[in-house]
Every structure is written in C-alpha cells, then in structure tokens.
A and B are shown apart, each in its own frame.
Chain A
C-alpha cells in the first residue's frame, strides 16, 4: 500500500453519464443478443427454428453453466 501514500490526494475525474450512455446502451444491447444466442436460443426459445446454433455452441453452453436441456 506504499503507492497510496506516493499518490497525492487527487480527485479521480468521473466520465459524464451523458458521454457514456450511448456506448453503454449499444454494448449492453449487443451483449444481450450474444448471450441470448449462446445461452438460450433453440432451447427454451427458437429463433430461427431448428437446432443448428444450439448444437454448434452446445459444449460452451454446458460448461458456461447455462441450462441446456
């Protein structure tokens, strides 16, 4: 913890929410879609119908801990 004393007490500047919001909105949306296709698609819900995506990411889904079947 010697670094703490070496660093002068400066206010860490926060990034304004207005500047962050569009990035956050877009990335959270994309991440939600990615998570959906890996974790839940063609198990409980199927878009598109079939099992191709489900089978392809089958092992990843099991090992990442999502309910698979």
Chain B
C-alpha cells in the first residue's frame, strides 16, 4: 500500500469511468443539448437585435455571428464528440487521481474500515460534496439559458458552494473519526451526516438564487438536467466501483504477501 499504488489505480478508474460517462453524456445528454440550441437559434432568429446578445463571443454554430464577434468556431459535430470526450476524459481521469490519493489518506484512518470500504466511503462523500450539493443548489443549465453578463457571478457562486460542501465533508469525516470510539458507528454516522446536512442547507439558503430561465421549455430543461445528473453519477459511480475493486484486490495480495513473510520469519 503506497501512494503510487493508489494514484495509478485512481487514474485508471477515472479513465474507465470517463468512458462510461461519455457514453451516457453522448446518448442521453447530446439530444437535449441539440434541442436547447434549437431553442436558442429560434429565439435568436426572432428579434433583430439578437446578434448583440452573442457579442460575448460565445457561440454554438452561428458562423456568421462568430465572424463578427471574432470568436473561434468549433462545429457542433466536434463539440458533441471529440470536444465532449476531451472534457469528460480529462476531468474524469483527474478526479480519479484525486480520489485515489484521498483514498490513500483514508486507508487505516477511519475506524476499522478495510481499504476497500474506506475507498468506497471516499467516493461516496466525494460525489455528494463535489457534485451533488453544487448541482442541487445551482443545477446544470443547457445552452440558451443564462445571461453572459452574470457568468462571472454564477461561476463564483458555483465554486463557493462546491468549496464549502467539500470543506464541510472533510470536517465531518474528521469529527466522525473522533466520535467513533466514543458513541459507536450508528450514532456517529447519524450525528455527522446530520451535521453536514444542516451546514449544507444553511449555506444553500444563504447563497443567492439564480433564475435566468425566461421562457425556456420546461421539458427540455428537465431532460437536460437529468442527463447532466446521470453523466456525473455515472462518472462517480464508475470511479467508485472500479477503484474499490482494484484496491480490494491490492489489499488481498498484500495481505497474502505479509502472511507469507510472517510464516517465513517464524520458521
């Protein structure tokens, strides 16, 4: 059990999970992205001053508008295949590495959990704090939703929520470690999960609400957000499942080796 072992397995788990996540994003998510862009183009075609809204250089496939704004054109076909794969594979592999090393920290430090169990806990807590909590407060928006003027604020809000959710999760795990021996597993989990929930809810209530939906169709919005949720769930579940399997096997192999060494020493 070395940091290297965990990092290698984490990166591998991240890469494999990314492939599944890409498959979900491509099949479930892309039709909704296309539907949203169709809405955006219909809206842009109606009012004459639509080009002004796009002068922030953001585009999808508006080649003519783009030339005016000086933006870079990437075709929809590339965005939805190679572009999507680039985004998910790099984020997924990097996350896998981080989760791998976080699991290396957790091994042997959380009660009597075996390495595969503590790794599963890291993946679960990681998903809730890194992905689920930010999503619940600031859910994913399809193209055509959101004003270019507020992107700075919205990006900042998103990462504040994510940062607090992660910090609170780390604190909750550290507190749980101390409570375990004193009040037992059941009460520890109740107390720390409950405490985490309170912190996250208070934060969510304190953070500003963003609503820039306008008259965007509700069904497309729902299906898009569901697709985004599934993409992230697939990524995290994939990382968790693959990494738990790999770490469990690693621990078994090391245990066997250690037992052999002990036996040899006793002879």
Could you tell me which A residues sit within 8 Å of B by CB distance?
7, 9, 11-15, 17, 19-20, 23-24, 27-28, 30-31, 34-35, 37-40, 43-44, 50-52, 54-69
Contact status A57-B231, CB under 8 Å = no
Q: Sorted from nearest, which 7 A-B pairs have the closest CB atoms?
A: A60-B87, A14-B108, A65-B140, A57-B87, A12-B108, A55-B74, A44-B155
Residues of A within 8 A of B158 (CB): 66-67
Contact status A13-B2, CB under 8 Å = no
The answer to whether B245 has its CB under 8 Å from any CB of chain A is no
Query: Known interface pairs A23-B7, A65-B131. Does A57 touch B97 (Cβ–Cβ under 8 Å)?
Result: no
Bound CA span A45–B2, Å: 38
* Residues of A contacting B: mostly: helix
Contact status B107-A15, CB under 8 Å = yes
Given contacts A39-B91, A51-B59, A63-B25, 8 further A-B pairs with CB under 8 A are: A13-B108, A14-B107, A23-B4, A24-B3, A27-B7, A38-B87, A55-B59, A55-B74
Q: Contact check: which of B4, B91, B114 meets A60 at CB < 8 Å?
A: B91
State how many angstroms separate the Cβ of A20 from the closest Cβ of chain B.
5
Bound CA span A12–B101, Å: 17
Q: Contact check: which of B90, B104, B159, B231 meets A63 at CB < 8 Å?
A: B231
Contact status A27-B155, CB under 8 Å = no
Contact status A15-B104, CB under 8 Å = yes
Contact status A23-B101, CB under 8 Å = yes
Contact status A63-B71, CB under 8 Å = no
* Residues of B contacting A: mostly: helix
B88: nearest chain-A partner, CB-CB: A60
Could you tell me which B residues sit within 8 Å of A by CB distance?
1-4, 7, 25, 29-30, 33, 56-60, 71-74, 78-80, 82-88, 90-91, 94-95, 97-98, 101, 104-105, 107-109, 112-115, 131, 134-135, 138-143, 146, 148, 151-152, 154-156, 158-159, 224, 227-229, 231-232, 235
Bound CA span A48–B190, Å: 47
